[in-house]
Amino acid sequence: MRHRKKGKKIGRTSSHRKRTLQALSNALIEDKRITTTVAKAKALRPFVEPLITRAKEDTQHNRRQVFRHLQSNDAIEELFGEVSERVGNRPGGYTRIIKLGQRSGDGAELAMIELVDYNDVPPADTGRGGSGGTRRGSGKGRRRSSEQEEQASETTDASAETDQKPEDGSAAGSAASSRAEEEGAEDDTEEETGEVSEEEPTDSSESTPGKKEEE
């Protein structure tokens, strides 16, 4: 029979459970908010709240009793300093547990435990709870993102083609202009050669009468 044995085992031996709750308590006191499983959060609450109650009265005996559970000087200084000043007027209920839904890896129920006096604003939606946190939903999101990437690549390719078309037109125009210049130069040379050929017969005609006169 399990009489007078309250407390959650959380799947650990006595020594392992003690060290786990000790580490979670130190993290909660120093960071004021941690994310863990629902089972660990429910086991942590009755472990850490009596220590916070002891910290309201800063005596050497209370410090030693709390240090026996936490084994951390930094956590002791934080607990008996800033935390005790914040919770001095609160009779109890120093922590709050907020469920966050299932973890995508193993489906474990997650929860966030925080100190009430430090975190009055509710946390933002993490998107892991409910139907949005399932693997099927994440696969749809990946599929949509891949489709968006493909559409973006198609638009970039189309813009690149439109950019290349004016360049091709300008290149064709420059080639046509160069050809026209070459043809114009050839016409000029042909005209010059024609003028020279027309002048040569006149010279020969002028030279022949001179020869006849000499004869």
Residues 6+ apart with CB under 8 A from 35: 100, 110, 111, 112
Element housing 102 (H / E): strand 95-102
Stronger pLDDT, 98 or 126, i.e. the higher one: 98
Residue 6 clears pLDDT 50, i.e. is over it = yes
Domain 14-124 classification at class level: alpha beta
Average pLDDT over residues 187-208: 52
Average pLDDT on 190-212 reads 50
**Out of 29-33, 83-87, 112-116, 135-139, which region has the weakest mean confidence (pLDDT)?**
135-139
Q: Helix or strand or coil: residue 42?
A: helix
pLDDT band of residue 58 (cuts 50, 70, 90) is: very high
Q: Whole-number mean pLDDT of the chain?
A: 78
- Grouping H, G, I as helix, E, B as strand and the rest as coil, residue 114 is strand
Residue 3 per-residue DSSP state: T
Confidence of residue 144 (pLDDT cuts 50, 70, 90): low
> What is the structure's pLDDT at 112?
95
- State which amino acid sits at residue 179: R
pLDDT at 132 over 50: no
The reported pLDDT for the residue numbered 118 is: 83
pLDDT at 77: 95
Averaged pLDDT, 141-162: 70
Whole-model pTM: value is 0.55
pLDDT at 194 over 60: no
Sequence-separated (6 or more) residues with CB below 8 Å from residue 40 = 10, 20, 24
Task: Give residue-wise pLDDT tens across range 12-47.
Answer: 999 999 999 999 999 999 999 999 999 999 999 999
Per-residue confidence (pLDDT) for residue 117, from 0 to 100? 85
Q: Residue 133: pLDDT above 50?
A: no
